[in-house]
Amino acid sequence: MKNLYVTGVAGCGKTAIALGIALKLKREGINVTYFKPVGSRPRLQGNEDSDALLMHEILDMKADVKMIAPFTAGTSYLSGLKNQELALASIKESFQAISGEADVVIIDAATFPHVGATFGLDVVSLAPLLDAHILNVVKVENDLSVDQAIFFNSNCAARGLKLIGHIFNNVPRQVLAKTEGVFKPVLEKMGCATLGIIPMRPEIASPTVSEYYEVLGGELLAGEENLGRLVEEVIVGAMTMESALKYMRRSANKAVIMGGDRADMALATLETSTSALILTGGLYPDVKVIARAAEKGVPLILVHYDTYTTIEKISEVSRRIRPGDFTGINIAVENIEQHCDWRLILKSLKEE
């Protein structure tokens, strides 16, 4: 059988799709393993790739975690410390070991399909080496997202690679109809198969408060019990009370960032649907704010940098499925079973 290379742009939900397909195939009695040839972000704590860790555990793989994710192309990987031959060699070696265990290897791409191109480690260059067909995950933002899919599709075709199809992932409800009625037919006309349209589920699309807390650090002053809450929106409370309340009331399950000295704003915010309150500047809040947050069970995070830095850091936060996250894992499989043509995926892998 062929292996499956799952690719797409940053934030499209590749790992969740890879996980869903892997588990689905496993349930179908196929021996599946996971491989991530090129990671893209260096980890601050620990050297192990969190996706690799997750798959290692869930697929019960014997290979070492370092072997599952052998190479990292960080944003300065061309500075001379990395060597192209060594990189390629270690990827090949690891892949050998991992594919040895399995019928199918699900290969997870880097943040973008082009990452690693200088070393010949981009998706299009690696796919033939890893004996894989390609599956593209589309993040639907607007009409241009479809252009991207088609462009990638033609690129693969030109290189003689098989792109078995596209999955529209995390589609907001308001564009479901357009995806079905406009985007899918357009793709088809251009000779691209749509393998699935997966509606957005906040349960796996939105990061939890604890994911924010991990990135931000700082002190947790209240609401320890609710770190599992989902954050669907982030609002910066740097306005007058009057206009702030308008925004606060209109958005649900939000994290709100504001200076620690704004007791009035913090109290008002706590009266609206809030998943977390992030206080900046290291300004210890009024006791009343802490007491109210505790009463309402809203996590209150005090960070020591300014609001701008906080927002910058927050842009790194994204939802990652973890080994113990059964809801997330179940939804990932459900999405493949209910919204994707997994039979067709399986059939394409069986075809040489």
Single residue of 27, 62, 159, 250 touching another protein by CB under 8 A: 250
Q: Please tell me whether residue 217 binds another protein under the rule CB under 8 A.
A: no
Could you tell me which residues are beta bridge partners of residue 107?
Answer: 5, 35
CB 251, min distance to another protein, A: 6
Choose among 17, 42, 11, 170: nearest CA to 108.
Answer: 17
How many angstroms separate the CA atoms of 271 and 257, rounded?
A: 15
Q: Which is nearer to another protein, 130 or 290 (CB)?
A: 290
User: Is residue 174 a contact point for another protein (CB under 8 A)?
Assistant: yes
Supply the minimum distance, in Å, between the C-beta of residue 254 and another protein.
10
CB of 230 to another protein, least distance (A): 9
Q: Which amino acid is at 238?
A: A
239 scored as a contact of another protein (CB under 8 A): no
Q: Is residue 260 a contact partner of residue 219, using CB atoms and an 8 Å limit?
A: no
Q: Is residue 29 a contact residue for another protein (CB under 8 A)?
A: no
Report the residue number, 177 or 190, with the smaller CB distance to another protein.
Answer: 177
Question: In the stretch 96-135, what mask flags binding to another protein with x, by CB under 8 A?
Answer: ----------------------------------------
Residues 121 and 144: their CA atoms lie apart, in Å, by 26
Q: Is 173 in the site for another protein (CB under 8 A)?
A: yes
Token reading at 229? 């809450």
Q: Which position among 238, 239, 263, 283 is part of the footprint of another protein (CB under 8 A)?
A: 263
**For residue 262, what is the DSSP state?**
-
- Residue 312 in contact with another protein, rule: CB under 8 A: no
Does position 10 interact with another protein (CB under 8 A)? The reply is: no
**Does 329 engage in binding with another protein (CB under 8 A)?**
no
Helix (H), strand (E) counts: the chain: 16, 13
Q: Which residues contact 287 (CB under 8 A, 6 or more apart)?
A: none
User: Among candidates 228, 236, 158, 230, which has minimal Cα distance to 191?
Assistant: 158
The single residue among 193, 238, 241, 346 that binds another protein, judged by CB under 8 A, is: 241
Nearer to another protein, 173 or 189 (CB): 173
Is 48 one of the binding residues for another protein (CB under 8 A)?
A: no
- ∠ CA 341-347-180 to the nearest 5 degrees? 25
Query: Does residue 350 belong to the site contacting another protein (CB under 8 A)?
Result: no
For residues 133 and 292, which CB has a smaller minimum distance to another protein in the complex? 292
Q: Is 315 in the site for another protein (CB under 8 A)?
A: no
Closest approach of another protein to the CB of residue 310, in Å: 18
Q: Please select the residue that binds another protein; options are 43, 177, 297, 312, rule is CB under 8 A.
A: 177
> Minimum distance from CB of 240 to another protein (Å)?
9
Residues in contact with another protein, counted by CB under 8 A, come to a total of 37
166 and 187 Cβ atoms separated by less than 8 Å: yes
Q: Nearer Cβ to another protein, position 10 or 177? A: 177
- The 8 Å CB, 24+ separation contacts for 81-90 are 82/119, 84/118, 84/119, 84/120, 87/119, 87/121, 88/119, 88/120, 88/121
Dihedral angle of Cα 265, 271, 272, 274, to the nearest 10 degrees: 80
Give me the phi and psi of 159, to 5 degrees please.
-90, 5
Judge contact between 17 and 137, C-beta under 8 A.
Answer: yes
In the complex, the residues that contact another protein under the rule CB under 8 A are: 141-142, 172-175, 177-178, 181-182, 202, 222, 232, 241, 246-247, 249-253, 263-264, 267-268, 271-273, 286-292, 294-295
